[in-house]
Amino acid sequence: MGFFFKMKPLLLAILAGIVLYTGAVSEYPWTFDNDLLGGPDFWGLLNKHWRMCTMGQMQSPVNIDPSKLFYDAGLSPIAIDNNVVEAELHNTGQLPVLTINDSLILSKNINISGGPGSPYKYRLHKVIIHFGRTIDGEKGSEHTVDFVRFPAEVQLIAYNTDLYTNFTEAMTQPRGLLAIAVIVDIRDVTNTELRKLTVASQSVTYKDSKTILKKFNVHGLLPKTTNYVTYEGSLTFPGCYETVTWVIMNNPIYITKEDLQIWNDLQQTEFKQPNPVFMFPNYRPLKTLNGRLLRTNIKVKYKRMAAHSCSSNVYLDMGYQANPTRSHHKRHASDENEPNAAFSVEKLDTRADILNNMESFDYL
């Protein structure tokens, strides 16, 4: 690994030269593995249309820092149609992608309005699942909260139907996409619709395999909350277009350890082989905010906290804490991948301790 990091600048230069002078790697297979030439650090060099992956200043995913949230009273709840639709689950080799059949009549589509996407209306087109290597305890959510990464993340990606005719057009254009990120945590029962996806994933083990879900209720993937954090960002896969309004829901949905392990069976290989290449992990490293606002409709109120209380009080009230007594690792570096980033472990107080210290002080 150390040798790779020493050679990385040279590899970047070589790859850039290949792209510039021959265009030979315009179709080079990309991956989430940064140990390979097709990894996230190289995406911007693999294809001229992917330059934002390297040059962009509004890239995703990001860390949600509770101390930097800006309360915006103008953020309305998000309205999502509760329709049952037909969808296709596809193993692309890099990601499991559920594509909604949005060519049906309007009443059978899933339209999204309100929230930071206003005044436009969006139509759900894709659902993408990100996860880590569960056998090693690696967690795979793309967005983090106070640098805490969660077991998985489900992303609902919709396109602007007021301005654009289809997803392909919208993804490269201003205000083109709205992406709703749902954190997935561990519990003893799996969310019903996530369970349907998990079972369907067993039919798409190998790259380019597909299966049809005749009746799928995407609305069932949403947690029971109207609270969220939002920011302006990008797609988290090539070409990283900075056309996405992100919405990170305030509460998680749940999956069992056993069901999460099933997602780890997905492979990048096209058929059964003695040494298969698995899809996990499939999340992009964190990107810096570069001055972007983290807006929220969560109005948190606190008074003086006891000396022993956790400094990350907003994190507790934000709803991601499935077990308020567990420890979490808080990273105090601006870049998650910085080699010398320091960790400190802090014991979280119980939710009751936090609630007992609340009064009418607005956290902005």
Catalytic (active-site) positions: 164
Residue 312: closest CA among 102, 147, 72: 147
Q: Which two tokens stand for residue 355?
A: 């609630």
Q: How many residues does the chain have?
A: 364
Question: Which residues, in sequence order, are bridge partners of residue 180?
Answer: 156, 247
Report d(CA 177, CA 116) in Å as an integer. 11
CA angle (165, 294, 146) in 5-degree steps: 120
The DSSP-derived string for 164-202 is -SSHHHHTTSTT-EEEEEEEEEE-SS--HHHHHHHHHHT
The DSSP-derived string for 66-88 is GGGEEE-TT-PPEEE---EEEEE
Report d(CA 364, CA 362) in Å as an integer. 6
The whole-angstrom distance between residue 118's C-alpha and the CA centroid of its chain comes to 21
Report d(CA 58, CA 55) in Å as an integer. 9
Residue 313: closest CA among 338, 346, 290: 346
The DSSP-derived string for 207-250 is TT-EEEEEEEEGGGGS-S---EEEEEE--SSTT--S-EEEEEES
Q: Pairing relation of β-strands 84-91 and 210-217?
A: antiparallel
Q: Which two tokens stand for residue 291?
A: 């001055």
Residue type at 106 in one-letter notation = L
Question: Which residues, in sequence order, are bridge partners of residue 99?
Answer: 88, 126
Report d(CA 267, CA 278) in Å as an integer. 4
Report d(CA 76, CA 80) in Å as an integer. 13
Structural contact between residues 181 and 247, judged by C-beta atoms closer than 8 angstroms:
yes
Structural contact between residues 145 and 153, judged by C-beta atoms closer than 8 angstroms:
no
